Amino acid sequence: MFRKVLEDSKREVSGKNAKEYVSEIIKFHRIQVTEGYNKAASLCKKIFEENGIETEILEYDSDGKKMYLGFLSPEGWSIKKGILRIDDKEYANFEKESISVIQRSIPFKGEVDLIYAEKEEDFKKGYLVFTHDFKKGKDFARNYGCLGIVTDENRSKFDAPDSLQYLSFWGEKLFGFVISPREGEKLEKELKKGKKKTYVEIESSFFPSKMKIVSAKIEGEKDEEIILISHLCHPKPGGNDNASGVGLSLEIARVLKKFKKPKRGIRILLVPEVHGTAAFISENRNFLCGLNLDMVGENQFLCNSPLLIEKTPDATPFFGNYLLQEILEEVKKEVSNFQNTFKYPLFMSSVTPFSGGSDHWILSDPTVGIPTPMLIHWPDKFYHTSFDTIDKVDEKELKRVGVIATTYLYFIANMGKKEAEWLARLVTQRAKQRILESSDIDYTVEIEKKNLDSIKRMENIDVENLKKEIEDLSNFERKNIKVKEKKIKKGIIPKRKFIGPISLSKTLLEMPLNEKKKFTEKMEKYKDFKGTLELAVFWADGNRNIYEISKNVKNEIGKVNTDFLIWYFEFLEKHDLIDIER
């Protein structure tokens, strides 16, 4: 049903064009609410308009005080100079390497003593501290009156020991620098012999400003829209994260403009990640669905990074998850075996449950109600490092993802009754397969019926007969397996207070160190279950108790710790982020 759109997309989408856009975007240091970000936004607006696409830049107050949904807007930040010199050796220079300064550092100039801190009691008032652990180090530095920190924290230290990690302060009034793991190993040995005289010069400032969002529109026949979203922010270079998503969005828009006008409009948003989406959605929620492009150009062999479809959460059922999978299966038919009897891909890919961590997190929240899957590559050896450069971006991969995304967007935007009925059959087919594999048939049937209902947001078709097919299969399966039913205990019933995901950034920033340490220790103890928390919050509608929520989370991703969920909901209640009925 979508094959004509797929073939048109294969013919029109240019990975070369997309990579050229990426190469222009990475020239800017694109930290949120900064001059570099604003210049990149202006460039993108210019490219959209050159391709005949109506575009505007939306502005939202951003001063470190104003909240959008549950998210604190960042202050404007400017930096002109950032230098770290130890024993006359230059370890960091912002002009040479933007990531070498911890982003949003406060201004400072002068000579200070640098010491090594291996544990909490090593953090001393009035010193600059070298630490391997940025997250704990910044909290200890704030609490004990340290001037700032130097860190070699790096998630890619074994793959790229000479790279620098992108790190940022978010409200902590400190300055800091990033050095490579290789330099950090040497510096630790030197500091164990004694403190070092260090020269620091950071010329920076904070001020009330505006968050800017690039908003472009492919016009449709109806007054309905779907969203294509990518975050424009991140430090220079930020090739795959996320100049690739933005560059590909620009190319997709160019192609969509050439296609016949669809029934529904397509809104392309380039945003400061999460904060910009929260600001936009606080005023605009009348969208049918979306797609998020984040890290979509990886050279898979250099980055060791498969292409993923990340589905919407089960709490926000959506037919588009299955549509994306079906399109991916077609795109995977790249080459044939020797006798031309079978086709297979030359790239790695997978389909995963919802995980969050990007703009689809906000859009797919049930209280927002804009179901938005994501296309992403994960993991990536060079993620958030200075080595996320243009050579890691592959124009062939950009084309693959561009074809998938363009096909998905145009098919949904132009969907009529015939397409909707075909899609309903596809959803039913996939639903039956999922029921046969399910450990909880009742849960699966509930979700799959809602997946069918989600099609009716686009076209008001009758899906009752298809629901009956699903019910008939589930009844047959129930007779063939013994389902152990647990009695659902009466217990705490959490209910959300706000629209959108729960942000803990303001709460943690204001929390006393001892309490924050307990929080961090708990999260570390249950780190394998951290991803269950957001899914649990999605189900907190004031109707389900904690045991029902726990069961739903386990059905969705295969694991849960109910005691951990209870602790988390009580933590949220304590900080006035959720209500609990007992």
pLDDT tens profile 194-247: 999 999 999 999 999 999 999 999 999 999 999 999 999 999 999 999 999 999
Average pLDDT over every residue of 522-530: 96
> Which residues lie closer than 8 Å to 313 by C-beta, 6 or more apart?
353, 354, 364, 366, 534, 535, 538, 556
Which of 480, 501, 517 finishes a domain? 480
Q: In terms of residues, how long is the chain?
A: 582
Average pLDDT over every residue of 61-80: 98
Same domain, 292 and 324: yes
| Structural domain of 11 | 3-73+210-413
Same domain, 409 and 291: yes
Does position 529 have pLDDT exceeding 90, yes or no? Answer: yes
Give, to the nearest 10 degrees, the angle between helix 441-455 and helix 320-331. Answer: 90
CA 212 to chain centre: 18
Contact 375, 223 (CB under 8 A): no
Does position 77 have pLDDT exceeding 50, yes or no? Answer: yes
Contact 314, 320 (CB under 8 A): no
Same domain, 272 and 385: yes
Type of residue at 225: E
Contact 388, 300 (CB under 8 A): no
- Residue found under tokens 């038919």: 333
Same domain, 135 and 243: no
Average pLDDT over every residue of 67-94: 98
Identify the band that residue 490 occupies on the pLDDT scale cut at 50, 70 and 90. Answer: low
Predicted confidence at residue 481, as pLDDT, reads 58
Which of 155, 185, 207 finishes a domain? 207
Predicted confidence at residue 138, as pLDDT, reads 98
For the entire predicted model, the pTM comes to 0.96
Predicted confidence at residue 483, as pLDDT, reads 40
Beta-bridge partners for 84: 92, 200
The DSSP letter of residue 57 is E
User: Cα(159)–Cα(136) distance, rounded to whole angstroms?
Assistant: 23
Predicted confidence at residue 480, as pLDDT, reads 66
Query: Does residue 438 or residue 239 have the better pLDDT?
Result: 239
Contact 199, 108 (CB under 8 A): no
The DSSP letter of residue 203 is E
Mean pLDDT over each residue of the chain, to the nearest integer: 96
Average pLDDT over every residue of 101-118: 98
User: Cα(414)–Cα(418) distance, rounded to whole angstroms?
Assistant: 11
User: Cα(348)–Cα(335) distance, rounded to whole angstroms?
Assistant: 14
Count of structural domains within the chain: 4
Same domain, 19 and 58: yes
Same domain, 202 and 349: no
Kindly state whether residue 487 falls inside one of the protein's structural domains. Answer: no
Same domain, 393 and 517: no
Contact 118, 98 (CB under 8 A): no
